[in-house]
Amino acid sequence: MAKLLAEEFTLKKSHQKVVIRSFAPGDQEVIQQFAKRIARETTHTLKYETMPDMTSDQLAFQCEGFLKHPVNLTMGVFFNDQLFGSLRFFQRIENHPWVKHIATFGMAVAKDYWTEGLGSKMLELMIEHAKKEGVLRIEAEVRAVNENGVRLYQRHGFKIEGLREKAAFIDGNYVDEYYIAKILS
């Protein structure tokens, strides 16, 4: 089972200390609240404001079941038992002999905490874990308009491989996404 034990991280600008760790069974409520916050604050993920609440089975899976596969990893950024950032990393198609070296991820940080180095720190922890687990390719999609996200991923060695035109229809506009990937050696 892949699990990140509690690690303290000092935010770059405010110098506030937060804890980064994998989700645990008691985190269901904060995960739900965080998903709603992300839906309010950004359209760069798949969370949207009128989205139904996650079921208790879905939340339990996020906290426990998901971590049973050794490649899969969750990360939450905690301060005073509240959640301010998260990352989920997982094998894209579980245990398929031809593509088990490929994993993907999704991440978000609460707006008040942007530019404090949390995105970078979570990517570093993810890449370290991926190398240990023998993942050779990490791939994801990022909205082309998400300049901060694109720049962050490029800084961590991701390359843009192509364009997914009209990949989402958000607030009345079609938006494109980049296919990004990083090869680990």
Ligand X SMILES: CC(C)(COP(=O)(O)OP(=O)(O)OC[C@H]1O[C@@H](n2cnc3c(N)ncnc32)[C@H](O)[C@@H]1OP(=O)(O)O)[C@@H](O)C(=O)NCCC(=O)NCCS
Which of 67, 60, 90, 68 minimizes the C-alpha distance to 21?
67
Q: How many CA atoms lie within 13 A of 140 on its CB side?
A: 23
Residue 75: CB minimum distance to ligand X, A: 12
Residue 56: CB minimum distance to ligand X, A: 25
Check: CB of residue 71 under 8 Å from CB of residue 103.
Answer: yes
Contacting ligand X within 122-141 (CB under 6 A):
none
Q: How far is Cα 41 from Cα 2, in angstroms, rounded to an integer?
A: 30
Cβ closest to ligand X, residue 40 vs residue 151: 151
Q: How far is Cα 114 from Cα 44, in angstroms, rounded to an integer?
A: 14
Residue 26: CB minimum distance to ligand X, A: 24
Does residue 149 interact with ligand X by CB under 6 A?
yes
3-class secondary structure, 127: helix
Contacting ligand X within 32-51 (CB under 6 A):
42, 44-45
Cβ closest to ligand X, residue 109 vs residue 135: 109
| Interface contacts to ligand X, rule CB under 6 A | 42, 44-45, 107-109, 114-120, 142, 146, 148-149, 151-152
